[in-house]
Amino acid sequence: MSAVLGIVTIVLVTAGAVLFLAGTLGLLRFPDTLSRLHAISKADNLGLGLIVLGLLPQAASVTGGLKLICVWLLAQLSAATASQLLGRAVYRGRREP
Amino acid sequence: MTLLLDLALVAWLLALAVHVVVQRGERSAIIAFLAFGLLLGLAWVRLAAPDVALTEIAIGGGGTGILLLRAEAVLRGRGKEEEPMTRAGKLAVAVGCAAISAGLGLAVLSFASPAPTLAPAAAEALGATGLGNPVTAVLLAYRALDTLLEKIVVLLALIGVWSLAPDGVWDGAPEVKPAIVPGPLTYLARILPPFGIVIGVYMFWVGADAPGGTFQAGTVLAAMWLLVMMAGLKPPPDTSRPLLVLALTGGPALFLAIAFLGSIFAEGFLAYPEGLAKPLIVAIEAALTLSVAAALAMLVAGPARKAPAR
């Protein structure tokens, strides 16, 4: 059982790490702010989500697992707000140069 | 494997530190400094010092970062006509910084190995305090005087900031709300504070037995209050408002009162009566958390900009 859980953790965390790598690559390579935001939000949401999901089987207790999920939800909330604010600033900057 | 991680961490830290120094734009340098604080927090985690890591991320990264960013926003566009620093001036600063760095490096390298430690003594006396976290025991029992002075320094800094207010708006409220509040910010300021307050109180409460404590909890609470003020949901209070002054001074005042009572009811100044140590420490921490939160939020909010409401 624990071997299966270990494999689940390894697969999911690796997938999350790959997403973070792809997001970082996009952040560095994409030409403008909006597409960079698009790249990094994938890493933030899905990448962190996969890592949290992968770590859940390793959580020592139910409350520990809940804390992990809370971390993901809070990161989602703050990332979404920051993206909206950045996108808004770009949009306003374009309209009123 | 962990050695690889540690080496990468050290390389990142050095690269970021150099980047902060050579960066020309102030704002980019401050943002890099924020990232540096986060990475330094990770380094403290690797050194098995989660208490320091939390404080570094909260105060060293987040708190200082937002203070610098706000200062930069105020100064931007001003002082352009000032003469740039002369070559000799730059050289003097560089030599001074290099000398201090070299001195610190030498001091660290000349430590005895293994370093002398009081950790066993700290752990041994832990039972007498009733606490589970030796770091909290050091901060509030063994070396309580340092902590007391530390909290008073924060208040002194706040007095320094407040005294920048012009006469006309003395006693008035600071201004943190931008001219146009973006919708997503208002949304965040409505959703996040309930969670933030729970997390802040948890960090303070768990500090007695696990990593956490007044500064970390106070920073989280201050951030929540600032968020509400920045979104314009609640205006910043007048700096002379009695409730604010009570929140600011309550922590250090209670700390001092208990310290002096210690010389009557216990063995001396800052000593706790036997058996009562833990409840007293938790009470002091509760009041200090509120004081730190209020002081940090007001530090970021800056000096008064609006005439007091009378």
Q: Where are the domains positioned within chain B?
A: 1-73, 130-310
On the question of pLDDT at A96 being above 60, the answer is no
CB contact under 8 A, A77 and B185: no
Sites in chain B below the pLDDT cut of 70? 79-83, 310
Across the interface, whether the CB atoms of B182 and A84 are under 8 A apart is answered: yes
pLDDT of residue B1: 74
Q: Which two tokens stand for residue B15?
A: 């690269």
Cβ distance B73 to B305 under 8 Å?
no
In this prediction, residue B79 carries a pLDDT of 64
Closest residue in chain A to residue B196, using alpha carbons only? A74
Closest CA to B54 of B35, B36, B40: B40
Q: What is the pLDDT of residues A23-77, one digit of tens each?
A: 999 999 999 888 998 888 888 889 999 999 999 998 888 998 999 999 999 999 9
Contacts A78 to B, Cβ<8 Å: 188, 192
CA dist., res. A51 & res. B303, Å (int): 43
Determine the angle formed by the axes of helices A62-95 and A33-42, rounding to 10 degrees: 170
By C-alpha distance, the chain B residue nearest A78 is B188
For testing contact with chain A, the best of B27, B185, B198, B230 (most A CBs within 10 A): B185
Buried b (16+ CB within 10 A) or exposed e, A18-57: ebbeebeebeeeeeeeeebbbbbbebbbbbbbbbbbbbbb
Between positions 72 and 91 of A, the ones with CB within 8 A of B are: 74, 77-78, 80-81, 84-85, 88
Size of interface A-B (CB pairs under 8 A): 21
How much is the pLDDT for A97?
Answer: 45
Is the four-CA dihedral B3, B6, B8, B11 of positive or negative sign? negative
Helices vs. strands in chain B: H and E counts, helices first: 13, 0
> Cα(B40)–Cα(B20) distance, rounded to whole angstroms?
14
